[in-house]
Amino acid sequence: MNTTTAVPRGLAGVVVTETELGDVRGLEGFYHYRQFSAVELAESRSFEDVWHLMFRGTLPADAAGRAAFAAETAPLRRLPAAVRDALPALARASALSGPLAGLRTALSLLGASAGFRPVYDLGPDRRAADALAACAAVPTLLTALYRLGQGLEPVEPRDDLPYAANYLYMLTGQEPDPVKARAIERYLISTVDHGFNASTFTARVIASTGADVAACLTGAIGALSGPLHGGAPSRALDTLDAIGTADRIGPWIRERVLAGERIMGFGHPVYRTEDPRSRMLRDIARGFGGPLVDFAVEVERQVEEILAELKPGRELHTNVEFYAGVVMELCGLPREMFTPTFCAARVVGWSANILEQAADSKIIRPAARYTGPTPPQPVPALG
């Protein structure tokens, strides 16, 4: 017997599985990785610590544990020769679309070159090894694709640098400034995971079919590329550019709100209070200071006032993208690398979800309600 249950559009609020990886409590403005506050982790721990937590269920207990995990993952940053040799052609082919588009193909090639097999056919240890290799390689792929697109040679990863600092090093080819590296590390930690968002759900749907890790991650990257998901940090910064000066904030925002346009960097489908990631990133931005930060803070203040006036009763605050763009700009990242940088963090969360889903052999197979013409209709004869 085929039974169906009607649910809200977009599956809003529908629980589709159980997870031990974390949760978002939107009414409280709180989210966590396993049992720990994600913001507290970003303030006090390294990216490698959080990666260890997501994959292995615990934080490293001491410096030796942290060093052991770093020693395990750092060599995985280097690409197989077949993948490295293909990157110039991939960079040329994705020149108009950018590094994130190129990553979809590069990651598929990495999986094929490394012999990734369907998770359905693998045990937990091999699944985890494939996921670890993919996570370590993503920053190398992204930075190489970007530099090749700029006519520059890729920079080989360094085993002696932590994840975030190595990312900046491969991107710029220069020794990373410790303050900027730590700011980026905190941003990366804050975006490792965030509930069952569109890209994470996509990764889990693909994992539920038993596909290999690279296939799952490629699907997740496709979902992340959408402007309504991870594609917003640079657009939020573009909004600041479009406003230009403080005297234009009110008129510019009012015109767009009244026209029904979305203000990039404001509002979130889950949070009904301030996004805790935005609060943390605003503090990081204020630590740098300067005209861009002052302007962003003033835009935030006026936008919230205008939205409260024109959309009373709705809680609309800055989301993670608004100050993420400001922080990345201050740290010298090019705007076309904003969403790829988000991806360099979220790949760890996706992979943890893939591993969790792979332990459950039940395929995710929802239904759709048909709304077309009443069937069956007679097939018309060819005139």
Strand 30-33 vs strand 36-37: parallel, antiparallel, or unpaired?
antiparallel
Helices (H), the chain: 38-44, 47-56, 63-73, 81-93, 99-113, 124-149, 163-172, 178-190, 198-208, 213-224, 233-243, 249-258, 276-288, 291-310, 320-330, 338-358
Residue 263, number of CB atoms within 10 A of its CB: 19
* Residue 318 φ then ψ, to 5°: -65, 145
CA distance linking residue 236 with residue 287, whole number of Å? 20
Task: Please give the helix or strand (H or E) that residue 22 lies within, else none.
Answer: strand 22-25
Are 72 and 89 in contact by the 8 Å Cβ rule? The answer is no
CA distance linking residue 182 with residue 357, whole number of Å? 32
In single-letter form, the type of residue at position 177 comes to: D
3-state secondary structure of 339: helix
* Active site residues per annotation: 268, 321
Nearest to 31 by CA among 342, 361, 271: 271
Question: Please, is 124 exposed, middle or buried when counting C-beta atoms within 10 Å of its C-beta (0-12, 13-18, 19+)?
Answer: exposed
Q: Where on the phi/psi map is residue 15: left (φ > 0), alpha (ψ -120 to 50), or beta? A: beta
Are 205 and 364 in contact by the 8 Å Cβ rule? The answer is yes
The 10 Å CB-count burial string (b at 16+, else e) for 130-149 is: bbbbbbbbbbbbbbbbbbbb
